[in-house]
Amino acid sequence: MTRKTWIWIGIGILLSIAVLLYFILRKPFDPFDVDISDVELELSFVDLNKELKSSDSLQLLKLRDEYKKNNSEILEFVMAGCLGIDVDVDSIYARKTKEFYSYKDIQQIEQGTQNITTDEKLKGEITDAFKRLKIHHPSEEFPRKIIFANTCFCVNAIVNNQPTDIPIGAFVIPKEKSIIVQEEKYIGGNLSLLQMPPLNQFVHNWTTNGYKKEYLKRDVVEAWLEQFFFPVKKDEQADVIHEAVRYGKILYFLHAAFPNMAEEQILRYDKSKLDWSHNQEKAIWSFLVENELLFQSSEKTIMNLFSEGPFTPNLEKDGKNESPDRIGKFIGFRMVQEFMKENASEDFKLDKLMSASAEQIYKSYKP
């Protein structure tokens, strides 16, 4: 061979090595990897609980008037809607508010939650999470305020002897573009406090592990995603598969908001429940398919698969039901994870996931 031929062979080898190194060393596309350093987001944190419990009668009336002056319904929602206190009658509003914070049980809850509203790291993590979502979908609505309040489990369980609800304690006031955080739902997993009378009458045993501060930030973002990013649409089919995909998208975007958050925290499971779900994933899918549940739209079926509870009904094995609750959400999350694993690229980022149909997502799912 001539010298020229050897040169071309050498060039070919070098190019081959360069291409090989490119594919070996190139960083795989990560849909969660975004730069938020230049993202602007106006988000404030309001400690309504502190304002209420530290005010005298005159200050309480002034606070109420300020909210009304700004056409805000938040104070009325918390006081009248959650605590059953009429804000329009001056004497009742002032007296009942002071009375509420004088209850020994309420004071115990206050002690268990006192480090929440002063946690600047927590506030920063919530703010950064919404900034990441703004990168992924800049045209969407974002919250203006996060409001901390003691809502006494939202139905005034202790004072009015009413049953409590689920441990998730963040809900959106759409008109106000605000999220109310029920401080009492994040007492830090303080089981001894939850098991004391009279709280133990209202907090179910299966919910106690859910009252953890570590869930607060994910609950705040999930509440917003469910309300604004992925609301239930009136014209959308309401069956198991469409609900699963909707929740799967919510949880995937939640993970994008907190890219370093553990999967069990995203799902609000403990590690053993997450492991059980992964180990039984194929069996769960077979159960849904064989029982023709995927396109079921009955309220009972939807509730069984997506609602909070001690477990998911009908998943017994050997006479025991060791399943976590909300298994439909887990399956939806897995479907979206697999769909994005196949499709995520510079040309298919999270904004395109929003418009991907349930049919596209579940048809490519092979557990």
Q: What is the pLDDT of residues 185-195, one digit of tens each?
A: 888 655 667 67
Q: How confident is the model at residue 338 (pLDDT cuts 50, 70, 90)?
A: very high
Question: In the predicted model, is pLDDT for residue 321 greater than 50?
Answer: yes
Residue 65: is it exposed, middle or buried by C-beta count within 10 angstroms (0-12/13-18/19+)?
A: exposed
Residues counted in the chain? 367
Sequence-distant (≥ 6) Cβ neighbours of residue 134 within 8 angstroms: 36, 39, 41, 140, 142
d(CA 322, CA 107): 37
d(CA 110, CA 151): 11
Question: In the predicted model, is pLDDT for residue 239 greater than 70?
Answer: yes
* Cis omega (within 30 of 0) for bond into 198: yes
Mean of pLDDT over the chain: 86
pLDDT of residue 332: 97
Q: What is the mean pLDDT of residues 231-242?
A: 83
pLDDT of residue 8: 61
| Contact between residue 215 and residue 265 where contact means Cβ atoms under 8 Å apart | yes
Of 3-12, 115-124, 275-284, 290-299, where does mean pLDDT reach its minimum?
Answer: 3-12
What are the Cα distances from residue 199, in Å, to 180, 202, 308?
22, 6, 19
**Per-residue pLDDT reduced to its tens digit, 58-106:** 999 999 999 999 989 899 889 988 888 999 999 999 999 999 999 887 8
pLDDT of residue 112: 80
Q: How confident is the model at residue 199 (pLDDT cuts 50, 70, 90)?
A: low
**SS3 of residue 214 by DSSP:** helix
Question: In 297-312, which positions are buried (b, 16+ CB within 10 angstroms) versus exposed (e)?
Answer: eeeebbebbbebbebb
pTM listed for this prediction: 0.88
Q: What is the mean pLDDT of residues 111-123?
A: 89
Of 40-54, 81-95, 164-178, 260-274, where does mean pLDDT reach its minimum?
Answer: 164-178
Question: In the predicted model, is pLDDT for residue 299 greater than 80?
Answer: yes
| Contact between residue 250 and residue 226 where contact means Cβ atoms under 8 Å apart | yes
Closest by Cα among 155, 262, 252, 268 to 219: 268
Give the amino acid at 217: K
Closest by Cα among 61, 82, 76, 90 to 159: 82
Sequence-distant (≥ 6) Cβ neighbours of residue 249 within 8 angstroms: 229, 230, 332, 336, 353, 354
**SS3 of residue 204 by DSSP:** coil
